[in-house]
Amino acid sequence: MTLLADPPPPGAPAGQWWPPQVLLPAWLEAHAADFDLVHVHFGIESYSATELRETVTALRRLGKPFVYTVHDLDNPQLTTQDEHRASLEVLTAAADALITLTDTTDGEVRAIARRPTTVIAHPTLLPDAPRPVGRVHDVARVGVHLRDLRPNIDGVGTCATLVRAVADLRAQGTRVEAVVRLNERVRDDEAAASIDLLARGADGVSVEHGPRLDDAALAAWLADLDACVLPYRHGTQSGWAELCYDLAVPVIGTRVGHIAAQHPGDFHSFDVGDPLSLARAIVDAASPGWSRPGSPSRAAEVDRRRGQRLAERGRVRAAHVEVYRSALTRVVAA
């Protein structure tokens, strides 16, 4: 099996793949000899449901199957979901095969599409090399990365809840600190200013502004944490939950979508606006029985998970190949 790289849009800077060219009928027609099957993951918000119907029609005309992995029942890049759900209906009805990442997501997708799906776990996001295990701290360190404040991130609500939770814990004698990080370029400057104001003078809470972290820097930042707070107001699954699992960093998140089903043993829930629920989640996630950053137990757990995930990656690849073969066989037979 050969996996082709995403073609860059004309004039796009290096590394930018959106809007995805493989969803354009003209691109499909021009490159029909170069591929056997299209697998869609992300980027459908770049096109309308009507345009995606044209994509499907082009693939049918060319006799090329397509597979759709349903990552987003609610699109994190969008505020309103009506157009996204219309696009979901188009793709889930027309795909030659549907893939989901968890059993709970699978149930919801089956209810929408009324057809069989295949559950394939999200593979590791880290390479084969040794993974960071963090540095030793004399306090429990909790982090939340708000990135560029995209629509599904409740930066202000999460930060306000975190400030209160940390203050309450420290008043009770718990040795804890929190760090809130934002990209230096954000989509909502007013929200970023409110976050700075909330944290200003807050006991045990600091705010970082900096460039977007590359993969290695992000892994190192997460590895320094006792727990990572996911600040989502809506969503379906989370690549961050996968990365935190690889690094043995417990996740604290709101119960949106199906994130809790990705790695249930590492997930602790809270409600935005309820500092008590977040304080409780922090205590549970950073309990003495868990591995602390920089500790031998953290290093051992990261190494154990590395072996587990690399073995899982092989099974994930094999499962995808089987889905592709089945889809290609059905199209040829038709």
The whole domain housing 193 covers 140-297
C-alpha–C-alpha distance, residues 165 and 169, integer Å: 6
* In a shared domain, residues 36 and 181: no
Could you tell me the pTM of the whole model?
0.95
Nearest CA to 86 among 68, 112, 108, 110?
112
Q: Angle formed by the axes of helices 82-94 and 49-62, to 10°? A: 20
* In a shared domain, residues 186 and 73: no
The percentage of residues in the chain with a pLDDT greater than 70, rounded to a whole number, is 99
Matching residue, tokens 């700075």: 196
* Residue type (1 letter), 193: A
* In a shared domain, residues 83 and 202: no
Tokens of 217: 């820097």
Summarised one tens digit per residue, pLDDT across range 238-287 is: 999 999 999 999 999 999 999 999 999 999 999 999 999 999 999 999 98
* In a shared domain, residues 197 and 246: yes
pLDDT (average), residues 113-142:
95
**Cβ–Cβ under 8 Å, residues 224 and 135:** yes
* In a shared domain, residues 163 and 250: yes
Is residue 130 included in any domain, yes or no? no
* In a shared domain, residues 248 and 198: yes
Summarised one tens digit per residue, pLDDT across range 11-24 is: 999 888 899 999 99
Is residue 213 included in any domain, yes or no? yes
Summarised one tens digit per residue, pLDDT across range 32-43 is: 999 999 999 999
In this prediction, residue 333 carries a pLDDT of 66
**Bridge partners for 153 per DSSP:** 232
- Residue 334: pLDDT band (50, 70, 90) is low
Domain count, the chain: 2
- Residue 71's CATH number: 3.40.50.2000
Is residue 134 included in any domain, yes or no? no
Q: Please check the confidence at residue 99 and state whether its pLDDT lies above 80.
A: yes
**Bridge partners for 227 per DSSP:** 142
* In a shared domain, residues 89 and 154: no
